[in-house]
């Protein structure tokens, strides 16, 4: 049964549309307590443009976040948080998430929608949360939007990152739910271009690429001069087979003028510490497991070069932030072609090896004009393609189009 939490007070917002919509449902699998504790609280993330007066967040887990910590993510709207947990019991009773056997689980969400009459539903990710939205639409005709944050066939569900048998089993089991949910969605938002082939494979035509929202509205770097000590920074998870910054640390071992800050955590964290120690770099590599996002941005803004290593196809949030700040960005080539967002004169792509990173960093240290050109190009592309205000306005346009159309109509 859905379990309501308290409604939090709200404060002023710099981007307001006077609550054009009455009520929005946001159905998500995330544990908001974790996001709040990490400082990943993007303003109006769940209520773009303050478009709705009231936002109900439905969590498909048992997390009980403090509404006061989440309030900033819904802007000026009244906030209510509910729980619709999906457990191992749900998996068993539905015989492995068979869509026809999940209707009972989704029933409380349909009942709440019937009582509160939201004008629109937003799902972050395409999992059981999107199935609940689909059931609400079938029962009540309320439109829903799904944002996809990865290609489930390539990344987390059935791709190379599904490393355990439990993850592989879950990835196969959820596929029927995924397909039904995206095919019936009124609109789908892939957050980077390599997700598009997945949508095309399943005949989804109502979509638009809108990049991950970040809370970064600071001015871009204008001074690209460097001193005797060059500050490099790498931010992100440190995970086997996915995001391993070892080549970056190995490269900097041979560049004594560079100090490196590594922010993030993961199963590789202790090994990276040991690697820096073995390379005699304990005084040049600073590790920070966790830091509020505002402080991360402070660290990035004070750095000279952003370096990143990932096997994921996407442009990460941290690369988006680095580009908005006008940092020269060095990142690795990946299996297959780089995402469209990572091709051009705004990034320096290298082989994912110590030699690849070392050669790139040496070039940037010795060539000030190249360093400045790379940073300014990054800021130019960021302003044009993924500035937070632009991304927010695009969501506002989609939401308006959907909640003002006749019930049951498809998005144009």
pLDDT at 4: 37
Provide mean pLDDT across the span 289-309: 94
Q: Which two tokens stand for residue 247?
A: 């080549």
Provide mean pLDDT across the span 358-372: 96
Residue 31 to residue 282: CA distance in whole angstroms:
35
Residue with tokens 């803004």: 301
Report whether pLDDT(361) > 80: yes
Predicted confidence band at 411 (pLDDT cuts at 50, 70, 90)? very low
Provide mean pLDDT across the span 381-396: 92
Choice among 75-79, 89-93, 359-363 with the minimum mean pLDDT:
89-93
Closest CA to 298 of 246, 261, 253, 339: 261
Predicted confidence band at 162 (pLDDT cuts at 50, 70, 90)? low
Provide mean pLDDT across the span 305-331: 92
Report whether pLDDT(406) > 80: no
**The CATH number fitting domain 21-212+389-403, selected from 3.40.50.720, 3.40.50.2000, 3.40.190.10, 2.60.120.10:** 3.40.50.2000
Predicted confidence band at 250 (pLDDT cuts at 50, 70, 90)? very high
Choice among 69-83, 120-134, 340-354 with the minimum mean pLDDT:
340-354
Q: What is the pLDDT of residues 98-127, one digit of tens each?
A: 999 999 999 999 999 999 999 999 999 999
What is the percent of the chain with per-residue pLDDT over 90, rounded to a whole number? 68
SS (H, E, C) 311-365: CCCCCCHHHHHHHHCCCCEEEECCCCCCCHHHCCCCCEEECCCHHHHHHHHHHHH
Give the dihedral of Cα atoms 67, 68, 74, 80; nearest 10 deg.
30
Predicted confidence band at 163 (pLDDT cuts at 50, 70, 90)? low
Report whether pLDDT(251) > 50: yes
Predicted confidence band at 169 (pLDDT cuts at 50, 70, 90)? confident
Residue 400 to residue 402: CA distance in whole angstroms:
5
Residue 373 to residue 381: CA distance in whole angstroms:
12
Contact 267, 244 (CB under 8 A): no
Higher pLDDT, 278 or 158: 278
Residue with tokens 């993961």: 266
What is the percent of the chain with per-residue pLDDT over 70, rounded to a whole number? 90
Q: Which two tokens stand for residue 305?
A: 């070069």
Does 21-212+389-403 match 230-384 in CATH topology?
A: yes
Q: Which two tokens stand for residue 117?
A: 């009459």
CA distances from 336 to 240, 306, 312, 332, 339 (A): 19, 23, 11, 12, 9
Mean pLDDT over all residues of the chain?
88
Q: What is the pLDDT of residues 5-18, one digit of tens each?
A: 332 333 333 444 55
Residue 304 to residue 329: CA distance in whole angstroms:
10
Residue 309 to residue 333: CA distance in whole angstroms:
9
Residue 164 to residue 104: CA distance in whole angstroms:
29
pLDDT at 158: 59
pLDDT at 346: 94
Residue 379 to residue 389: CA distance in whole angstroms:
15
Higher pLDDT, 158 or 171: 171
SS (H, E, C) the chain: CCCCCCCECCCCCCCCCCCCEEEEEEEECCCHHHHHHCCCCCCCCCCHHHCEEEEEEEECCCCCCCHHHHHHHHCCCEEEEEECCCCHHHHHHCCCCCHHHCHHHHHHHHHHHHHHCCCEEEEECCCHHHHHHHHHHHHHCCCEEEEECCCCCCCCCCCCCCCCHHHHHHHHHCHHHHHHHHHHCCEEEECCHHHHHHHHHCCCCCECCCCCCCCCCCCCCCCCCCCCCEEEEEECCCECCCECCHHHHHHHHCCCCEEEEEECCCCCHHHHHHHHHHCCCCCCEEEECCCCHHHHHHHHHCCCEEEECCCCCCCCHHHHHHHHCCCCEEEECCCCCCCHHHCCCCCEEECCCHHHHHHHHHHHHHCHHHHHHHHHHHHHHHHHHCCHHHHHHHHHHHHHHHHCCCCCCCCC
pLDDT at 12: 36
Report whether pLDDT(134) > 80: yes
Domain range summary for the chain, segments of one domain joined by +: 21-212+389-403, 230-384
Contact 233, 260 (CB under 8 A): yes
Residue 84 to residue 393: CA distance in whole angstroms:
30
pLDDT at 10: 32
Predicted confidence band at 138 (pLDDT cuts at 50, 70, 90)? very high
pLDDT at 2: 41
Residue 320 to residue 143: CA distance in whole angstroms:
30
Contact 20, 113 (CB under 8 A): no
Q: Which two tokens stand for residue 248?
A: 């970056």
Residue 92 to residue 46: CA distance in whole angstroms:
31
Superfamily of domain 230-384: Glycogen Phosphorylase B; (3.40.50.2000)
pLDDT at 337: 62
Q: What is the pLDDT of residues 197-243, one digit of tens each?
A: 999 999 999 999 999 888 888 899 999 999 899 999 999 999 887 89
């Amino acid at each position: 049964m859905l379990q309501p939490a308290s409604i939090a007070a709200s404060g002023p917002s710099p981007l307001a549309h006077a609550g054009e919509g009455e009520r929005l449902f946001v159905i998500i699998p995330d544990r908001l307590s974790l996001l709040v504790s990490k400082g990943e609280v993007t303003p109006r993330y769940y209520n773009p443009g303050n478009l709705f007066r009231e936002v109900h967040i439905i969590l498909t887990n048992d997390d009980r976040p403090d509404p006061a910590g989440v309030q900033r993510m819904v802007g000026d709207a009244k906030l209510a948080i509910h729980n619709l947990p999906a457990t191992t019991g749900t998996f068993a009773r539905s015989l492995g998430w068979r869509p026809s056997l999940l209707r009972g689980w989704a029933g409380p969400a349909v009942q709440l929608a019937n009582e509160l009459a939201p004008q629109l539903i937003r799902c972050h990710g395409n999992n059981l949360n999107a199935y609940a939205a689909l059931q609400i639409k079938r029962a009540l005709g309320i439109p829903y939007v799904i944002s996809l944050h990865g290609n489930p066939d390539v990344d987390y569900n059935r791709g190379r990152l599904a490393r355990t048998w439990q993850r592989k089993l879950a990835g196969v089991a959820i596929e029927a739910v995924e397909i039904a949910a995206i095919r019936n969605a009124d609109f789908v938002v892939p957050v980077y271009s390599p997700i598009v082939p997945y949508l095309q494979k399943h005949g989804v035509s109502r979509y638009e690429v809108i990049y991950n929202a970040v809370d970064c509205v600071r001015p871009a770097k204008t001074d690209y001069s460097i001193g005797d000590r060059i500050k490099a920074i790498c931010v992100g998870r440190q995970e086997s087979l996915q995001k391993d910054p070892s080549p970056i640390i190995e490269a900097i071992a041979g560049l004594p003028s560079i100090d490196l800050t590594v922010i993030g955590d993961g199963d590789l964290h202790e090994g990276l510490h040991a690697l820096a120690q073995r390379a005699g770099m304990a005084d040049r590599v600073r590790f920070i497991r966790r830091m509020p996002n505002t402080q991360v941005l402070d660290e990035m803004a004070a750095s000279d070069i952003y370096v990143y290593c990932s096997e994921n196809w996407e442009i990460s949030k941290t690369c988006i932030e680095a580009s908005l700040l006008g940092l020269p960005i060095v990142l690795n080539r990946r299996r297959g072609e780089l995402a469209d967002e990572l091709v051009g004169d705004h990034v320096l792509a290298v082989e994912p090896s110590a030699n690849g990173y070392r050669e790139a960093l040496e070039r940037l240290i010795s060539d000030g004009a190249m360093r400045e050109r790379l940073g300014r190009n990054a800021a130019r592309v960021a302003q044009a393609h993924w500035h937070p205000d632009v991304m927010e306005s695009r969501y506002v346009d989609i939401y308006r189009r959907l909640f003002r159309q006749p019930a049951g109509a498809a998005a144009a």
